[in-house]
Amino acid sequence: MEHRSTILMQRYELVRLLGQGTFAKVYHAKSLRTGQSVALKMIDKDKVMKNGLVEQIKREISVMRLVRHPNIVHLFEVMASKYKIYFVMEYAKGGELFAKVAKGRLREDTARKYFQQLISAVDYCHSRGVYHRDLKPENLLLDEHGNLKVSDFGLSALAESKRSDGLLHTTCGTPAYVAPEVITRTGYDGAKADIWSCGVILFVLLSGYLPFHDSNVIEVYKKISKGDIKYPSWFSSDARKLLTKILDPNPLTRISIAKIKENKWFRKGFIDKKLKNEEETAEIVPSDVAEVFNSYEITNEGKQEPFKVKKLNAFDVIALAAGFDLSRLFEQHDQKKEVRFTSKESVSAIVSKLEEVAKNLKLKFKKNHDGLLKIEGLKEGRKGVLTIETEILEVTPSFHFVEIKKSNGDTLEYQRLLKENVRPALKDIVWAWQDE
């Protein structure tokens, strides 16, 4: 095979290609020093930089150094050459759990064992302030002993990614496994969203198919939002009762991991493996990786940083589309806190207009590093300083969604300002308001 004799960094011999994506390839490799099998993820540095994924790679490294658990793929070291970054990770010889499920449903005892290991790993992640956000059978691997290993922390979030409301706001994950509150874009608790995904995985292991399925993606989202599930006759009543508590579309009443671990069905034969070594992995990311990323950032210093906006995928567009607003299912009252409009103007034109509106209303205007614009009052209102957050989302370079929402202050004051001042002032850049 062409890669059999390829030696990397005088330390690893590539054996065979296991899989590849847009920015990375994963190989089965062997350590020349110990003979140990490893999985070697080879990331194209240039593509990562051009696509603005530097922070994502850094985050994946920092997350994987934080989490060390028997049911999580272990990161041994990170290396870098001029053009590549290499993650050297634990090799899961058993492949994806997905391959097992693809052959048909699993026996209840087998499904329970995998689910117990998954919950142990996810519980550990949450205790370290890490939320996976893309749990699905394809990201669950098996070692040679058939033990589950959670992998792929590329979309994970650290606790510090939360906004001022304490919630995460990035829509991500795989549609069929995503919690309803993630689709609504109203902000979500990362732990509760991961628990929902674990429930979908358990359903798939026990049934061999997805709980929410339809050829029409809108119908899938509607089923997810209602928690509309038909349980197969072969599910035991205890498994069904637990799943009903996990796949609760309301995150506020959805079962917690602590309660799952107390559940009768879950506890059967459960052994909570204690970690032999709970400290963070001692390996340090080599300075050359950090230096490459730093030099990339330094080259942008001194230039006017363009305001960065999130590019929407089809999943986001459907979730935002008029006529498909699921947020009312989770709202505690009728007064909507956010409005959305579409615009055919450029990002800079939208930002300039919003800045002009704030200035005319004698309000403070701030640009945040995370792609948010903030408009703030100058004095305390009835319920604190009125703060309005605006996020611009790119569908195409010439078509944008703009979301305006109150993040602090009095709702009535916000509604009045919006109706009497903000909406009329934005007419030049608005193509259509979503509520019209």
Residue 309 CA from chain centroid, whole number: 17
pTM (two decimals): 0.64
The pLDDT value given to residue 286: 45
Highest mean pLDDT: which range of 29-33, 382-386, 404-408? 29-33
Strand partners, 406: 388
Q: What 3-state DSSP class applies to 203?
A: helix
The pLDDT value given to residue 236: 96
The pLDDT value given to residue 412: 87
Q: List domains and CATH numbers for the chain.
A: 7-91 (3.30.200.20), 95-267 (1.10.510.10), 310-433 (3.30.310.80)
Confidence category of residue 187, pLDDT binned at 50, 70, 90: low
* Residue 1 burial (CB count, 10 A): 9
Interior/surface letters 354-393, b for 16+ CB within 10 angstroms, e for the rest? beebbeeeebebeeeeeebbbbbbeeeeeeeebbbbbbbb
The catalytic position among 134, 189, 194, 248 is 134
Alpha carbon of 126 to those of 121, 202, 304: distances in Å? 9, 19, 38
Confidence category of residue 65, pLDDT binned at 50, 70, 90: confident
The pLDDT value given to residue 90: 92
CB 45 within 8 A of CB 52: no
Is 41 annotated among the ligand-binding residues?
A: yes
Q: Please indicate whether residue 134 is annotated as part of the active site.
A: yes
The pLDDT value given to residue 137: 84
Over residues 291-328, the pLDDT tens digits come to 545 444 433 333 344 566 777 665 566 556 544 444 44
Over residues 220-272, the pLDDT tens digits come to 888 888 888 899 999 999 999 999 999 999 999 999 999 999 999 999 999 87
- The tokens describing 246, both together, are 């996990």
Looking up tokens 């370290």 gives 128
Stretch 158-183: mean pLDDT, rounded?
Answer: 59
Stretch 171-191: mean pLDDT, rounded?
Answer: 71
For residue 188, give every residue at least 6 positions away whose Cβ sits within 8 Å of its Cβ, in sequence order, or none. Answer: 167, 168, 169, 179, 181, 182, 251
Q: Say whether pLDDT at 156 is over 80.
A: no
Q: Say whether pLDDT at 350 is over 50.
A: yes
The pLDDT value given to residue 298: 31
The pLDDT value given to residue 5: 63
Sheet with 140-142, side-by-side order of all strands? 95-96, 140-142, 148-150
Q: Say whether pLDDT at 133 is over 60.
A: yes
